[in-house]
């Protein structure tokens, strides 16, 4: 599937502009939806791991709508790494949607119908990457 890169890149840029540091915003949403995940970040005393993880997620999304040099492999590796950390695959997968919701909730009118379409296609594509992987490893 060819994904539409520009609306995703525009929305991420708008998000960075509007949110400043988006880390607290995204994790507040995650922990509201999955409170049991917060305790897994015990070692992250200063928030650096959360920030690094979110940065990796942004980079993965950008790769996935662009060059696709590594995104599918990284997602497949991280779902396994995270399962070992105690993050169920379904919760892992939900993080991309959490990011989308944080973007949508922050960028106001810069969230357009084209943005919504592009994110819907992107999330469906990532779900397919994960579903294929989980079917293989189940
Ligand atoms: C709700 C879903 C997720 C949860 C609950 C979660 C949880 C965590 C936790 C607890 C750590 C810290 C591990 C430690 O203490 O060593 C971590 C690190 C990390 N996560 Fe996630 N994760 C999620 C989704 C993702 C996704 C989707 C990606 C990327 C595709 C990702 C990439 C990373 C990376 C790269 C690190 C290492 C950061 C660093 O230490 O520099 N995570 N994650």
List, in order of start, the domains of the chain with CATH numbers: 5-137 (1.10.490.10)
Ligand 1 centroid to residue 110 C-alpha, Å:
28
- Give me the mean pLDDT over the 113-117 stretch: 98
- Residue 138 scores a pLDDT above 70: no
- Residues lining ligand 1, judged by CB closer than 6 Å? 30, 37, 40-41, 43, 49, 52-53, 56-57, 60, 74-75, 78, 82, 85, 87, 91-92, 94-95
pLDDT at site 87: 97
Residue nearest to atom 42 of ligand 1 (CA): 53
Q: Whose CA is nearest to atom 12 of ligand 1?
A: 41
Summarised one tens digit per residue, pLDDT across range 28-85 is: 999 999 999 999 999 999 999 999 999 999 999 999 999 999 999 999 999 999 999 9
Check residue 132 and give its pLDDT.
85
CA separation for the pair 132, 107 (Å, rounded): 32
Directed axis angle between helix 89-106 and helix 48-65, to 10°? 80
For the record, the structure tokens of 24 come out as: 């607290």
CB atoms within 10 A of CB 17: 11
Residue closest by Cα to atom 20 of ligand 1: 53
Asked if 122 and 3 touch (Cβ cutoff 8 Å), the reply is yes
For residue 15, pLDDT beyond 70: yes
């Amino acid at each position: 599937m060819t994904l539409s890169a520009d609306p995703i890149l525009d929305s991420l840029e708008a998000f960075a502009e509007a949110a400043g540091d988006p880390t607290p915003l995204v994790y507040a949403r995650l922990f509201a939806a999955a409170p049991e995940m917060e305790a897994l970040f015990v070692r992250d005393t200063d928030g650096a791991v959360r920030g690094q993880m979110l940065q990796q997620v942004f980079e993965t999304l950008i790769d996935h709508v662009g060059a696709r040099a590594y995104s599918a492999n990284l997602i497949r590796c991280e779902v396994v790494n995270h399962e070992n950390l105690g993050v169920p695959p379904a919760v892992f997968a939900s993080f991309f949607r959490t990011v989308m919701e944080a973007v949508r909730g922050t960028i106001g009118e810069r969230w357009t119908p084209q943005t919504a379409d592009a994110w819907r296609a992107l999330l469906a594509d990532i779900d397919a990457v994960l579903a294929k992987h989980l079917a293989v490893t189940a």
